[in-house]
Amino acid sequence: MKPELKDSIGLHLGAKIKNCVPVSGGDISRAFVLYTASDRVFCKLNSSLTAKSMFEAEADGLKAITKTKTLKTPFVYGVKELDEGACLLMEYVTSKSPESKDMEIFGAQLAAMHQNSSDYYGWENPNFIGNLPQSNQKHDNWISFYIKERLSPQFQAAIDRKYLTKNDVPGIEKLQTVITSCCPDVNSSLLHGDLWSGNYLIAENGEPYLIDPAVYFGHSEIDLSMSRLFGGFSSSFYSAYFEINPSLPGESNRMAIYQLYYLLVHLNLFGKSYYKSVMEILKAHFQ
């Protein structure tokens, strides 16, 4: 990090930054731990034109989760616009490897978070999934929301990027028929929205923290489906979750349909290596 940038961020924090250490922070932004005389601050840095909007949406999501008083999130110090891009400044949480009892607590707390509901599906504002825009227009019907606000934009993006052809993509009527046949009427739940293993921490005292949210009100199984896509969540997590929010019939069939959204996102973010996984779901469920 350049000295002038470090000084500018220090002014925003109201504390001189004595040291700055790069850390792994995902595929979208650079990340640093900033050391002041009395504290450590986690800094995410992104130079894109959408960085400020992206970080403001992330901060909004973290605060929304915190308001539920179910799961912890890092305290947000603020978003600072820079000459190139922006940065997000947050509490630094020292983490440890999860133990079974930690994941049990996490599962129970996620179930409690999912009990926060709304009379609509969506969110007050658009946000981001990775660095891709995520539309959250409000719907009073879950299936309509999932098709129009989740699948359709990603299908179109994949066609525009030439990762999919129009022949690969099911029509709206086919999507409607298949998803209606397997999705029950459900109350909306506050979702993390991008719940893979890189987006939670277990603090040294065993408390789970959520990070990098893409929040909205939707079907609770969305978070569970994403958690199962790449692994990293133990059986104790799911047992504790379902003890509070019992599994509904047909969940295993819906899981692939909900994972489709995330695989499309990965296709659009990272390219053709995700084409096969996307097509396997489309052929199994929509042909």
- Listed in order, strand segments (DSSP E) in the chain are 19-23, 30-35, 40-46, 76-81, 86-91, 127-129, 132-134, 189-191, 200-202, 208-210, 216-218
How many other C-beta atoms can be found within 10 angstroms of the C-beta atom of residue 190? Answer: 25
Residue bearing tokens 């539920």: 68
Rounded Cα distance, 223 and 221, in Å: 5
β-partners of residue 72 are: 209
Q: Which residues contact 17 (CB under 8 A, 6 or more apart)?
A: 6, 7, 9, 10, 34, 35, 36
| Tokens encoding 81 | 């616009």
3-class DSSP state of 262: helix
Please tell me which residue in 102, 194, 212, 223 is annotated as part of the active site. 194
CA 271-61-254 angle, to 5 degrees, is 55
Rounded Cα distance, 251 and 183, in Å: 9
List the one residue out of 218, 226, 52, 220 whose CA is nearest residue 135: 218
217: exposed, middle or buried (C-beta count within 10 Å: 0-12, 13-18, 19+)? buried
Is 27 a known active-site residue?
A: no
Helix, strand, coil % over all residues of the chain, rounded to 5: 45, 20, 35
Instruction: Please give the positions annotated as active site.
Output: 194
